[in-house]
Each structure stands twice: as structure tokens, then as C-alpha cells.
């Protein structure tokens, strides 16, 4: 490991896949918190290997052709099937390659934004027939997720929050056991106070992630 000023430069820079669910850009609270997460990690590593999937302008939806192509074994797929699945293939590869999924998600109508759900549909391709839904065993992968959740009134884990339990389940479903939620919900009640706490939580958690990654790199 190399020391650069106050920063540690690892031989292998961990890969971050950032997924933004907000339709807003400049005034988005969830994006600002995700920016802070990236900046904190970047500060620790000197560089950040970040791929960003911004679902703001839509990410496309699955179709009948997509479903049919998904259900075929790889070797039976036609060139047209492969073309239909190409985007999903690319998104799955991005998710596979990442060490950290950083997901910035505002609550929309008590759940997640539709475009984020589309991203999930596109990467969970092996569940198209639903058969995997009851088998969550043996899927653990060496990856963690940091989920930043914002809302105006719906509080995380309250009865009307369907985003948190859904995202928890989906992370487990894709094999990620290490999931941390940053709670920036209920912003209408006390925006500055809630944001200040969320910012501290983001920084503290990203420092923990960086320390773990640095230890792993030093041990390699
Ligand atoms: C379509 C839509 C639906 C929303 N539904 C809810 C909701 O169910 N509960 C809530 O508290 N806030 C709701 N909000 C408000 C957002 O969750 C809140 O403004 C959030 O902080 C936006 O994140 P952003 O600043 O990153 O865009 C909704 C906003 C939009 C655009």
C-alpha cells in the first residue's frame, strides 16, 4: 500500500457501483448523501473506482421478448435474444464486479422509485420464473451494500415504509448479507437535524468500509 499525502492508495481500488433512484438532480438529498459517501471513500483511497447508474431518465423496462429470452438456456439463445438481454447482461456484470453497492433511494409512494425497481428486475434475471424466490441459501457473495433512504414523512421501518423491507429482502436475495441503511427519512419534520445525523452516519460508515478494505489489501 502506498501513502500519498494523508491518503492511502491501495494496490487494488475497490469498485463502487452507485445507483441513484431520485428523479431530481441538483436538489436531490439522496444524491447529496451519496456524493458524500463517494467523497469520503475517495478521500481514503486517493481515487474512487465508481460506476454510476443514474435511473433518473428511466432505465428501460423488461418486455415479453426479454422474459422469453431470459428463460432460455444461454446456448439456445438467438442473436435477437442476446440483443434483447444485452443491457441486463451489462447491468448484471456491473453489479457482479462491484465491491460496494451504493444505492441512493427516495421513498416514492411508500416504496422505491419505479426506475430502481426496473434495475432490480434487470439484474435479478434468474428469478424470471419465480423459482428462486424460496431459496435464499448458498448465495452469499463478498459484497456489501450501503443504502441511503430519504423521504419527507414516511419513516424508515414504519408500517407504511415498504422500501426498507423490500430492499433488505432483495439484497439478501442477490446474496448480499452486509447491508447498512442510512436513515434520512422524515425530512419534513427537521430537515437540517436529520441531514446532519445522516451525514455523520455516512462518513462514519464509509470510514469503516475503507478501514476494512485497507486491512484486506494489506493482508493480500
Ligand atoms: C413520486 C413521489 C412520491 C413520493 N412519495 C413519498 C412518500 O410516500 N412518502 C414520503 O414521505 N415522501 C414521498 N415523496 C417525497 C420524497 O421521498 C422526498 O422528497 C425525498 O427526500 C426525495 O429524495 P431526493 O431529494 O433525493 O429527490 C415522494 C416524492 C415523489 C416525487
pLDDT score, position 3 = 39
> What pLDDT, in 10s, does the model give residues 142-174?
789 999 999 999 999 999 999 999 999 999 888
Pocket of ligand 1 (CB under 6 A): 22, 24, 28-31, 106-110, 150-154, 187
Closest CA to 16 of 113, 6, 44: 44
- Buried residues in 153-172 as b, exposed as e (16+ CB within 10 A): ebbbeeeebebbeebbebbe
pLDDT score, position 1 = 36
pLDDT score, position 140 = 64
Closest CA to 22 of 61, 62, 58, 60: 58
Q: Residue 194: phi, psi to the nearest 5? A: -65, -40
Concatenated DSSP letters of 45-108:
HSS-EEEEEE-TT------HHHHHHHHS-GGG--HHHHHHHHHHHHHHHHHHH-SEEEEEEE-B
Which residue has the CA at smallest separation from atom 21 of ligand 1?
A: 151
The total of other beta-carbon atoms located within 10 Å of residue 205's CB is: 18
Phi-psi region of 136 (alpha: psi -120 to 50; beta: other; left: phi over 0): alpha
What's the CA-to-centroid distance between 20 and ligand 1, angstroms?
A: 13
Per-run averaged pLDDT (10 residues), the chain, 220 residues: 41 86 94 97 85 92 93 94 95 92 98 96 82 62 91 98 97 91 98 98 94 77
Alpha carbon dihedral 8, 36, 208, 186, in 10-degree steps, equals 180
Say how far apart CA 41 and CA 214 lie, in whole Å: 11
pLDDT score, position 6 = 40
CB distance 48 to 14 below 8 Å: no
Sheet holding 178-184, edge to edge: 49-54, 15-20, 100-106, 144-150, 178-184
Mutate to test the pocket of ligand 1, among 105, 152, 186, 188 (most ligand atoms within 8 A of CB): 152
pLDDT score, position 57 = 87
The total of other beta-carbon atoms located within 10 Å of residue 32's CB is: 19
For the chain, what's the residue count? 220
Q: How much of the chain exceeds pLDDT 70, in percent?
A: 89
CB distance 178 to 99 below 8 Å: no
Domains of the chain: 2-219 (3.40.50.360)
Rounded to an integer, what is the distance from CA 146 to the centroid of its chain? Answer: 7
CA 188 to ligand 1: nearest atom: 11
Return the H-helix or E-strand segment holding 158.
none
Mutate to test the pocket of ligand 1, among 107, 110, 111, 192 (most ligand atoms within 8 A of CB): 107
Q: What is the DSSP letter of 105?
A: E
Amino acid at each position: 500500500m502506498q501513502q500519498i499525502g494523508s491518503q492511502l492508495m491501495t494496490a487494488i481500488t475497490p469498485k463502487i457501483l452507485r445507483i441513484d433512484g431520485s428523479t431530481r438532480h441538483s436538489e436531490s438529498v439522496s444524491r447529496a448523501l451519496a456524493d458524500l459517501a463517494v467523497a469520503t471513500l475517495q478521500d481514503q483511497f486517493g481515487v474512487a473506482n465508481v460506476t454510476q447508474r443514474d435511473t433518473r431518465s428511466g432505465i428501460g423496462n423488461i418486455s415479453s421478448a426479454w422474459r422469453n429470452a431470459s428463460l432460455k438456456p444461454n446456448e439456445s439463445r438467438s442473436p435477437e435474444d442476446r440483443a434483447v438481454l444485452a443491457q441486463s447482461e451489462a447491468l448484471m456484470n456491473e453489479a457482479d464486479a462491484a465491491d460496494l453497492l451504493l444505492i441512493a433511494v427516495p421513498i416514492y409512494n411508500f416504496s422505491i422509485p419505479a426506475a430502481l425497481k426496473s434495475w432490480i428486475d434487470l439484474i435479478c434475471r434468474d428469478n424470471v420464473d419465480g423459482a428462486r424466490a424460496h431459496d435464499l441459501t448458498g448465495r452469499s457473495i463478498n459484497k456489501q451494500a450501503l443504502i441511503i433512504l430519504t423521504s419527507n414523512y414516511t419513516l424508515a421501518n414504519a408500517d407504511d415504509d415498504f422500501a426498507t423491507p423490500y430492499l433488505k429482502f432483495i439484497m439478501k436475495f442477490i446474496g448480499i448479507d452486509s447491508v447498512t441503511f442510512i436513515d434520512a427519512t422524515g425530512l419534513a419534520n427537521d430537515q437540517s437535524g436529520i441531514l446532519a445525523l445522516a451525514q455523520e452516519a455516512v462518513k462514519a460508515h464509509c470510514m469503516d468500509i475503507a478501514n476494512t478494505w485497507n486491512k484486506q489489501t494489506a493482508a493480500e
